[in-house]
Amino acid sequence: MASQQSVEPFDLVIFGGTGDLAVRKLLPALFHRFLDGQIPPNSRIVGVAREGLDDTGYRAQLREALVQICDAAKLDEFLQQVFYRALDARKDAGWDDFAALIKAEPEHVRVFYLSTSPELFVDLCGRLGQHGLNLGQSRVVLEKPIGHDLASANRINDAVGKVFSESQTFRIDHYLGKETVQNLLVLRFGNALFEPLWNSAHIDHVQISVAETVGVGHRAGYYEHAGALRDMVQNHMLQLLCMVAMEPPSSLAPDAVRDEKLKVLHSLKAIDAGNAAQLTVRGQYRAGVAEGDHVLGYQEELGGSKTGTETFVALKAEIANWRWAGVPFYLRTGKRMPDRVSEIVVTFKPVPHSIFDAGSGTLAQNRLVLRLQPDEGVKLWLTIKHPGPGGLRLRHVPLDMSFAEAFGVQQPDAYERLLLDVVRGNPTLFMRRDEVEAAWRWAGPILAAWAASGEAPRSYAAGSWGPSASVALIERDGRTWHDDNE
Ligand code: BG6
């Protein structure tokens, strides 16, 4: 039986309260925590946006959205703890009343979740500071992307830092809240088996793939200015890479873990104009068939405008340190792929010598596959003898542990854990300022190299695994992208 940590009464304010993230992720996550008794009865959740709604109108909007994805029982009870305030970050109206509402519960932990465009972070923090809402047990949560590049990230972090201290600032990367990512920590550091092999002497290469079937759809306005490198690689995928590659932290204390991740980011080899053409591939989907339907290409979704924004990236990263020298980390992410699958695949080196006849079959390399979604779980691919009489035949089969089957529980959404970590004041799974900066320092030269090359992203059909150059990127090294069905 899972034991639950208690939660102090809190007020959680979501700026961007009518937005996609709030409605699709944050409020369902809070509702699930409510069902598990983790939202103390006098806690308040306050949605803030510019739309002129009141509490009743907001609750009705949320009800309509939440019944589609959550169990409706108890929803109304939950919604009684939800409120709404119409505010504009750039206008004074309403801020005094809002401050009075929050200050009415001086003992509550206060969480200000900025789920808005990063341009508003500075104004919003300014307002919160001006009204003294940064005092006491206050925390601010910054959604990614934090800026557009290193300079804009610094501007945002400086401005936020004038109002909230670093220990009050929670830069969220929801991939760190995913069960399998936490399990990676436990697998690596809770078992004696893997760590002795976790280095360049035994690991051949690592693949990190995040493939989505969805297109950009109604998020095109945001996405067009971001692209896959800023949207997925600079944050989620680098964070996964850090979790795979970091040295054992001395404890799970927030800075112990974050110090180790930072060292990995600092050790990434530069990709710039000199090598980007060999080490990176970017693509953009055109019309095609995805999940059985004909779907538009990215440019058509944008109303036919010509754009060089990438919806797919594959790249080969390397970490220049003793543990990882010479071990490629292949990263791949894209929209409109044939399957939704996110996984980390660690491929071990082949055995040094085979004692088996050529007729026994090939000796495949061991693989450890950590599946983030769907069907979270861990598979360890081993070579065994095919059962039965006759000659000795080798088979490559997985030791397969699906978390849902093993534990019979639905895995909680990443935001459920992370939101409560903020309330509890535990920043272990959040990015420290220097991590965000180091990630931009690595990503910036790649973006600059692409811009300088003047080349358009390679086109790929929606519903395919990206441009063929992505296959060539890994096959040049005599390797292939992992396919679980092989
Ligand atoms: C977000 C990106 O951070 O992560 C989206 O902005 C992406 O473009 C999403 O779709 C993927 O998250 P998940 O949890 O569905 O894999």
The alpha carbon of 291 and the centre of ligand 1 are apart by a number of angstroms equal to 18
The alpha carbon of 432 and the centre of ligand 1 are apart by a number of angstroms equal to 20
Integer Rg of the chain from CA: 24
Q: Rounded CA gap, 40 and 78, in Å?
A: 11
The pair of three-digit structure tokens given for residue 211, joined into one six-digit string: 């493939």
The pair of three-digit structure tokens given for residue 410, joined into one six-digit string: 């639905």
Q: Rounded CA gap, 231 and 365, in Å?
A: 33
Atom 2 of ligand 1, nearest CA residue: 231
Residues near ligand 1 with C-beta < 6 Å?
A: 174, 212, 231, 342
Q: Is 283 helix (H, G, I), strand (E, B) or coil?
A: strand
Looking at the CA of residue 175, tell me the nearest atom of ligand 1.
14
Handedness of CA 344, 350, 356, 360 (dihedral sign): positive
The alpha carbon of 314 and the centre of ligand 1 are apart by a number of angstroms equal to 17
Mutate which of 212, 216, 336 for ligand 1 pocket (most atoms within 8 A of beta carbon): 212
The alpha carbon of 430 and the centre of ligand 1 are apart by a number of angstroms equal to 16
Atom 15 of ligand 1, nearest CA residue: 212
Contact 285, 335 (CB under 8 A): yes
Distance linking the first and last C-alpha atoms of the chain: 37
Q: Rounded CA gap, 63 and 428, in Å?
A: 33
Mutate which of 232, 340, 342, 431 for ligand 1 pocket (most atoms within 8 A of beta carbon): 232
Q: Rounded CA gap, 390 and 357, in Å?
A: 14
Tallying the residues shown for the chain, one arrives at 486
Q: Which residues pair with 348 in a beta bridge?
A: 203
353 catalytic? Reply is no
Mutate which of 20, 21, 174, 415 for ligand 1 pocket (most atoms within 8 A of beta carbon): 174
Q: Is 270 helix (H, G, I), strand (E, B) or coil?
A: coil
Q: Which residues pair with 458 in a beta bridge?
A: 283
Looking at the CA of residue 226, tell me the nearest atom of ligand 1.
6
Atom 13 of ligand 1, nearest CA residue: 175
Looking at the CA of residue 210, tell me the nearest atom of ligand 1.
16
The pair of three-digit structure tokens given for residue 205, joined into one six-digit string: 């290469």
Q: Rounded CA gap, 477 and 471, in Å?
A: 10
What are the backbone angles phi and psi of residue 307, rounded to the nearest 5°? -145, 145
Q: Rounded CA gap, 350 and 363, in Å?
A: 8
CA 485 to chain centroid: 25
pTM: 0.94
CA 412 → CA 31, 50, 124, 136, 267, distances in Å? 12, 31, 30, 30, 33
Report angle CA 358, 360, 364 to the nearest 5 degrees: 90
CB contact set of 303 (below 8 Å; sequence gap of 6+): none
CA 75 to chain centroid: 28
Q: Which residues pair with 401 in a beta bridge?
A: 378
Q: What letter represents residue 103's amino acid?
A: K
Query: If 0-12 CB within 10 Å is exposed, 13-18 middle and 19+ buried, where does residue 268 land?
Result: buried
Tens of pLDDT, residue by residue, the chain (486 residues): 445 677 899 999 999 999 999 999 999 999 999 999 999 999 999 999 999 999 999 999 999 999 887 778 899 999 999 999 999 999 999 999 999 999 999 999 999 999 998 889 999 999 999 999 998 899 999 999 899 999 999 999 999 999 999 999 999 999 999 988 888 999 999 999 999 999 999 999 999 999 999 999 888 888 999 999 999 999 999 999 999 999 999 999 999 999 999 999 999 999 999 999 999 999 999 999 988 899 999 999 998 889 999 999 999 999 999 999 999 999 999 999 999 999 999 999 999 999 999 889 889 999 999 999 888 889 999 999 998 887 889 999 999 887 777 777 677 889 999 999 999 999 999 999 999 999 999 999 999 999 999 999 999 999 999 999 999 999 999 999 998 776
What are the backbone angles phi and psi of residue 144, rounded to the nearest 5°? -75, 160
Atom 6 of ligand 1, nearest CA residue: 231
Atom 8 of ligand 1, nearest CA residue: 231
The closest of 128, 158, 156 to 142, measured between CA atoms, is 156
Contact 281, 469 (CB under 8 A): yes
Q: Is 195 helix (H, G, I), strand (E, B) or coil?
A: helix
The alpha carbon of 462 and the centre of ligand 1 are apart by a number of angstroms equal to 18
Query: If 0-12 CB within 10 Å is exposed, 13-18 middle and 19+ buried, where does residue 483 land?
Result: exposed
- Domains of the chain plus CATH, in order, are 10-171 (3.40.50.720), 176-475 (3.30.360.10)
CA 392 → CA 352, 357, 388, distances in Å? 20, 9, 9
The alpha carbon of 222 and the centre of ligand 1 are apart by a number of angstroms equal to 13
Catalytic residue among 32, 108, 236, 482: 236
The closest of 345, 351, 390 to 370, measured between CA atoms, is 345
Looking at the CA of residue 340, tell me the nearest atom of ligand 1.
16
| Beta carbons within 10 angstroms of residue 217's beta carbon | 11
Q: Rounded CA gap, 330 and 450, in Å?
A: 18
What pLDDT does residue 1 have? 42
Q: Which helix (H) or strand (E) holds 332?
A: strand 329-334
CB contact set of 314 (below 8 Å; sequence gap of 6+): 280, 281, 283, 330, 331, 332, 466, 469, 470, 473, 474
The alpha carbon of 83 and the centre of ligand 1 are apart by a number of angstroms equal to 27
E strands in 97-239? 109-114, 138-142, 169-171, 203-211
